[in-house]
């Protein structure tokens, strides 16, 4: 038989293989992250009919080349264009990820790791990030609980929707600051009620509260008292603040305040009367104070003797305050003070509370206790809190309680229980500038960097993936949390990976082994893009061109077989 016949057969088979490769490329022209292949031919073998000879110096003849007849063609190699980057396809799905660079995603089917460029992912029922097509878990690194940073260790499944990740824990507020302008021409600042500012904060369980701070101007126009007057819970209900501490107790603020009886009230000895009525509004002959230190009578007097249960001391004090125009502000009224004019103790500040104690226990008439029975001038007031100072020349913050280096006051909430944290309130960003009679002072939770602001319980509202593969969750309380990082694999010879179907590759001896840890995608200049997928890198124009040359090669080889057959036919026809 003729050798050309078998060469033609080998050519047909090899071109069929090439057509198979081309057909597979074209079939996968729209397969996500598909990498095209190409085939390289090599000659099969050659039959040597005469070996080469060298020159013969003795005879003077030259050498001859070997005489070899080729016996056909075979597939030399099938190469994958695995490093050829496919174009990007925008999907808008945040879990669709495209790698730019030479790295591969690492996925696991429960038995072993595979590698892929197909970044079409979703979150399965167990909360794991997984491949959409196969359900294989996407592998990555978790977060070190101690540091909050990524711990690059042996890759594990990324369970981003675990129960622990669905919420962000609450935190008690520990820092706050007051900033803005206190304008001394502001009518609120100079009024008896003062300028109120609300500070919103949280306890450790995430419940919200509002602390009301009030600023009042002193006789010194560059000094203001600041005190806690109310504490409201989330429903607006007022809470008891008697166990709380803000600043110093019993501070003095100098400011003359005119006080007078209203609506026909007058004093008759120790009796507060109202014109037209014969029954005293309040009779100090019946004890209000249990002792001369101003302790209120509740249901027993200072000796332990039982009193009439209708003798409500606080209610009587409220009536006295109301008579002087301080209805609803009894403590404010009782904390007003006058300076003692008695020889030997002149200048001593005596509160209205103590004046009433003296009136109850002493014999001094009311006209001497309050200057006059219907009107008196208070020299200032006692308050619990701090004094805010501003520089008279610049209007800038000048310290607290006269100390330039003191910038903050602590709101001690320990009296409310262990769910609360004490709040350090910084006043250094406040000022006393002229703002046309309008104060802009306000309180903000957290320090100047936003730390210590506290928060309520947060529900997850979104997940985002950064270009380095780090996965962050965002919560409706304004917080974000690092959930993990998608790991990638990089191979010395990526073309040596073995296709395993479903857009997956397996490591081989020639590709290099996967170390089980992986690398950060950005380590060698790559990055990830979300909302995009890598398209196939098949070039249709090149494939169709290759198809033409393959078809012609196949035709030519078939002609070899035809012509060889004709020659054999002529040979057999020699004998008729």
- CATH at residue 417: 2.60.98.20
Full-prediction pTM beyond 0.85? Answer: no
Q: Tell me, yes or no, whether 252 lies in a domain.
A: no
- Total domains present in the chain: 4
Kindly tell me if the per-residue pLDDT of 497 is higher than 90.
yes
Is pLDDT at 306 greater than 60 in this prediction?
A: no
Check: CB of residue 85 under 8 Å from CB of residue 512. no
- Label residue 66 by pLDDT band (50, 70, 90): confident
pLDDT (mean) for 18-35:
95
How many Å apart are CA 127 and CA 124, to the nearest integer? 5
Token pair listed for 467: 């270009």
Say if residue 361 is in the same domain as residue 277: yes
**pLDDT of res. 360:** 87
Please report, for residues 395, 399, 400, 418, 548, the alpha-carbon distance to residue 425 in angstroms, rounded to integers and kept in the order given.
Answer: 20, 13, 12, 19, 81
Beta strands in 281-438 (DSSP E): 282-283, 336-339, 349-351, 375-390, 397-400, 408-412, 423-431
pLDDT over 60 (residue 310): no
- Whether residues 268 and 369 share a domain: the answer is yes
Taking 70 as the threshold, does the pLDDT of residue 544 lie above it?
A: yes
pLDDT tens track for 99-149 = 999 999 999 999 999 999 999 999 999 999 999 999 999 999 999 989 989
The reported pLDDT for the residue numbered 305 is: 57
Q: Does residue 240 belong to any structural domain of this protein?
A: no
Q: Is residue 470 one of the residues assigned to a domain? A: yes
| Cβ proximity of 105 and 116 under 8 Å | yes
Rounded Cα distance between 476 and 183, Å, is 37
Output the pLDDT for position 429.
96
**Cβ atoms within 10 A of the Cβ of 145, count?**
7
Q: State the average pLDDT over residues 275-297.
A: 87
Residue 342's domain spans which residues?
A: 262-373
- Domain boundary residue, one of 373, 397, 429: 373
Give the whole-angstrom CA distance, residue 388 versus residue 396. Answer: 11
Q: Distance between CA atoms of 136 and 113, rounded to whole angstroms?
A: 9
Average pLDDT across the chain, whole number: 91
Percent of the chain with pLDDT strictly greater than 70: 96
Q: Are residues 147 and 124 in the same domain?
A: yes
Residues 398 and 389 sit within 8 Å (Cβ to Cβ): yes
**Residues 360 and 288 occupy one common structural domain:** yes
Question: Distance of alpha carbon 257 from its chain centroid, rounded?
Answer: 50
Does residue 39 share a domain with residue 137? no
Q: How far apart are CA 476 and CA 467, in angstroms?
A: 23
Both 341 and 405 in one domain: the answer is: no
Q: Is a pLDDT exceeding 90 seen at residue 453?
A: yes
User: How confident is the model at residue 417, as a pLDDT?
Assistant: 87
Residue 78 lies in a domain: yes
> Tokens at residue 138, please?
């996407």
Please give the pLDDT value at position 410.
97
Same domain, 433 and 473: no
Of the residues 373, 398, 426, the one at which a domain ends: 373
Q: What is the DSSP string of 358-372?
A: HHHHS---HHHHSSS
Q: Residue 312 has what pLDDT?
A: 80
> Does 148 map to a domain?
yes
Same domain, 449 and 498: no
N- to C-terminal Cα distance for the chain?
20
- What is the rounded average pLDDT of the residues 178-184? 96
- Is 523 a residue whose pLDDT tops 80? yes
pLDDT of residue 60: 83
For position 72, what pLDDT does the model report? 85
Domain stops at, among 416, 441, 456? 456
Residues 175 and 219 in one domain: yes
Residue 247 lies in a domain: no
pLDDT confidence of residue 344? 55
Q: Is residue 255 part of a domain?
A: no
Nearest to 72 by CA among 130, 120, 6, 25: 6
Same domain, 174 and 164: no
Q: Which residues pair with 115 in a beta bridge?
A: 106, 505
Is residue 382 in some structural domain? Answer: no
185 and 160 both lie in a single domain:
no
Residues 95 and 164 in one domain: yes
């Amino acid at each position: 038989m003729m050798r050309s016949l078998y060469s033609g057969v080998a050519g047909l088979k090899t071109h069929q293989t090439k057509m198979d490769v081309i057909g597979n490329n074209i079939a996968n022209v729209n397969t996500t992250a598909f990498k095209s292949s190409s085939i390289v031919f090599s000659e099969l073998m050659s039959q040597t009919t005469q070996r080469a000879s060298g020159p013969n110096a003795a005879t003077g003849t030259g050498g001859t080349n070997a005489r070899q007849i080729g016996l056909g063609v075979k597939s030399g190699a099938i190469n994958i264009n695995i490093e050829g980057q496919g174009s990007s396809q925008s999907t808008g799905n945040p879990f669709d990820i495209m790698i730019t660079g030479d790295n591969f995603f690492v996925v696991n089917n429960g038995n072993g790791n595979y590698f892929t460029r197909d970044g079409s992912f979703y979150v399965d029922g167990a909360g794991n990030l997984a491949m959409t097509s196969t359900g294989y878990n996407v592998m990555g690194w978790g977060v070190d609980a101690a540091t909050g940073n990524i711990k690059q260790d042996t890759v594990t499944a990324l369970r981003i929707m675990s129960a622990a990740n669905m919420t962000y824990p609450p935190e008690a507020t520990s820092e706050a600051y007051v900033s803005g302008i206190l304008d001394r021409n502001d009518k609120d600042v100079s009024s008896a009620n003062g300028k109120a500012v609300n500070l919103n904060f949280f306890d450790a369980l995430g419940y919200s509260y509002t602390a009301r701070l009030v600023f009042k101007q002193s006789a010194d126009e560059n000094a203001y008292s600041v005190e806690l007057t109310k504490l409201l819970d989330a429903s607006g209900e007022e809470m008891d603040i008697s166990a709380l501490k803000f600043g110093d107790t019993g501070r003095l603020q100098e400011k003359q305040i005119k006080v007078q009886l209203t609506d026909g009230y007058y004093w008759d000895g120790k009796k507060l009367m109202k014109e037209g009525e014969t029954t005293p509004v309040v009779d100090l002959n019946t004890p209000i104070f249990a002792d001369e230190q101003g302790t209120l009578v509740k249901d027993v007097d200072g000796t332990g003797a039982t009193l009439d249960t209708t003798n409500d001391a606080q209610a009587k004090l409220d009536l006295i305050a109301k008579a002087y125009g301080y209805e609803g502000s009894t403590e404010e009224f009782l904390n007003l003070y006058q300076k003692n004019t008695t020889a030997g103790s002149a200048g001593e500040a005596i509160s209205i509370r103590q004046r009433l104690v003296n009136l109850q226990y002493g014999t001094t008439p009311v006209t001497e206790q309050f200057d006059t029975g219907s009107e008196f001038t208070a020299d200032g007031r006692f308050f619990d809190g701090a004094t805010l100072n501003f520089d008279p020349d610049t209007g800038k913050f000048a310290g607290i309680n006269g100390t330039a280096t003191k910038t903050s006051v602590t709101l001690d909430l320990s009296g409310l229980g262990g769910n609360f944290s004490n709040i350090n309130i910084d006043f250094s960003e406040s000022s006393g500038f002229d703002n046309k009679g309008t104060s802009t002072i306000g309180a903000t939770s957290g320090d100047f960097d936003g730390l210590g602001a506290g928060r309520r319980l947060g529900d997850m509202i979104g997940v985002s993936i950064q270009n380095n593969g780090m996965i962050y969750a965002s919560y409706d309380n304004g917080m974000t949390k690092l959930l993990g990082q998608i790991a990638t694999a990089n191979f010395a010879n990526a073309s040596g990976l073995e296709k395993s179907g479903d857009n997956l590759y397996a490591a081989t001896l020639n590709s290099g082994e996967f170390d089980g840890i992986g690398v950060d995608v950005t380590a060698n200049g790559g990055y990830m893009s979300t909302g995009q997928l890598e398209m196939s890198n098949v070039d249709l124009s090149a494939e169709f061109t290759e198809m033409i040359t393959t078809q012609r090669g196949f035709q030519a080889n078939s002609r070899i077989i035809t012509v060889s057959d004709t020659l054999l036919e002529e040979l057999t026809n020699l004998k008729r």
